[in-house]
Structure 1
Amino acid sequence: MQEHYQGLGHIAVHTRDMDGSIAFYEKIGGSLFRRDAVSTPDGEKQLALVSFGGFLLELIQSPVPVPMGEGNIPHFAVYVDDVDAAAAAIQAAGVDTFLKPEKTVLPKTFGGLENRFFTGPSGEQIELLHML
């Protein structure tokens, strides 16, 4: 299963103010890499990738209020070479906590991506991510 891992994809952080968060990270040395949006049943979810400290932050502004408190990091992403193969290897190891039965393909988001989420033992979400 390790042969599929390619490194940390990003760390996702919820924000109430996308422009303010981007400005904050730019102020402390980050730079906007990409900005996008995804339609959801509740409205448009704003997304931004900010390069910061040698990795990417994915800022997420939900169209509906999201509880914020200590540790408002909803998931972390690991780049993989093949989402299906990596998921199969994880399932073969006895982990079957995937949130959906199949990967999601978003051909227009951030230039195209496919992903699949599963949960760890404390409820943390882990994203298997392949950029197209």
Structure 2
Amino acid sequence: MAMKEHYQGLGHIAIHVKDMDESIAFYQKIGGALFKRDSISTPEGDKLLALVDLGGFLLELIQSPTPAPMSEGNIPHFAVYVDDLDAAGADLRALGIEFTEPEKKVLPNTFGGLQNWFITGPSGEQIELLQML
């Protein structure tokens, strides 16, 4: 199967933020709508997450427990929805593409349940393959 057959559209664009509430308020002010909020526990503390619908696509706002480096901007990755993460992963491996981690992540409680896997583009950009559960 060709990889393009797995793609289902833009999942979201992730943006590091310094203050979650301030950022949500800003995006609401400019016409966005809060879709979901969540958090993930990390060894450094809770990573705050929010999905904001902005004109038909989602922004994932991320407030890390430790300040994220923003010297090159604050967009850490973009996500593409796939129909079947395991099949897409097998097809990418067959093309010689390496994943940033050997195993996919399954997060059954984040944003209603998702699984994802990241690859790195030629300039260091992170590409998230995302399947909602």
Same fold (TM over 0.5): yes
Listed as ranges, the gaps of 5+ residues in structure 1 are none
TM-score by length of 2: 0.95
Q: Quick check: 47-56 or 68-77, which moved more?
A: 68-77
Listed as ranges, the gaps of 5+ residues in structure 2 are none
Match of 2:121 in 1: 120
Output one character per residue of 1:73-94: Cα deviation in whole Å (capped at 9) or x when no partner: 0000000011111111112112
Match of 1:28 in 2: 30
Match of 1:90 in 2: 92
Aligned partners of 1:126 and 1:91: how far apart in 2? 15
Match of 1:74 in 2: 76
Task: Report the RMSD for the aligned CA atoms in angstroms.
Answer: 0.8
Aligned partners of 2:77 and 2:63: how far apart in 1? 14
Q: CA deviation at 1:70?
A: 4.3
The 5 A counterparts of 1:54-65 are: 54-65=56-67
TM-score by length of 1: 0.96
- 1:34 corresponds to which letter in structure 2? K
Aligned partners of 2:72 and 2:91: how far apart in 1? 33
Match of 2:9 in 1: 7
Match of 1:41 in 2: 43
Output one character per residue of 1:37-76: Cα deviation in whole Å (capped at 9) or x when no partner: 0001111000000000220000000001111234210000
1:108 has 2:90 as partner:
no
- 2:105 corresponds to which letter in structure 1? T
- Give the total of aligned pairs: 131
- 1:99 corresponds to which letter in structure 2? T
Identical aligned residues as a percent: 74
Moved over 6 A (4+): none
Q: Describe the SS at the equivalent of 1:110.
A: coil
